[in-house]
Amino acid sequence: MSTKEWVSSHSDGASIYQECLYDSETHDINPNPAVIQVDGPCNYSVTREDYADSRPFSQLAVEIPADRFDEIAIAWCKNRKLHGALGGSFGREIGSPDSEY
């Protein structure tokens, strides 16, 4: 059984998490893939096609309100400590771990 490390969770059903199956002593940041989970999406589509040369094609498209996706993206950047890549590594600028935004 695995444990989910929630990066951002919201009652509207759009959330992001990572599995906690990693060695926290050797990794400062969880290296596992991000999982975006959308409960009860308003609009979504799943496409799967097999081409003549046997190459399968799959696509999943899910609509997430833009303001909710902004919250998910900011939470992800804070969780991954990417604030330096977003314009600086000091103070409370947007994207820093100390920022409200």
Q: Express as a percent the part of the chain with pLDDT over 90.
A: 8
Q: Please list the residues that pair with 19 across neighbouring strands.
A: 4
Residues 97 and 77: their CA atoms lie apart, in Å, by 9
Closest to 100 in 3D by CA, of 13, 36, 91: 91
Residue 72: per-residue pLDDT: 92
Q: What is the pTM of this model?
A: 0.68
- Domains of the chain, by residue range, sit at 4-64
- pLDDT tens for each residue of 63-101: 888 998 999 998 998 888 887 777 665 555 565 566 666
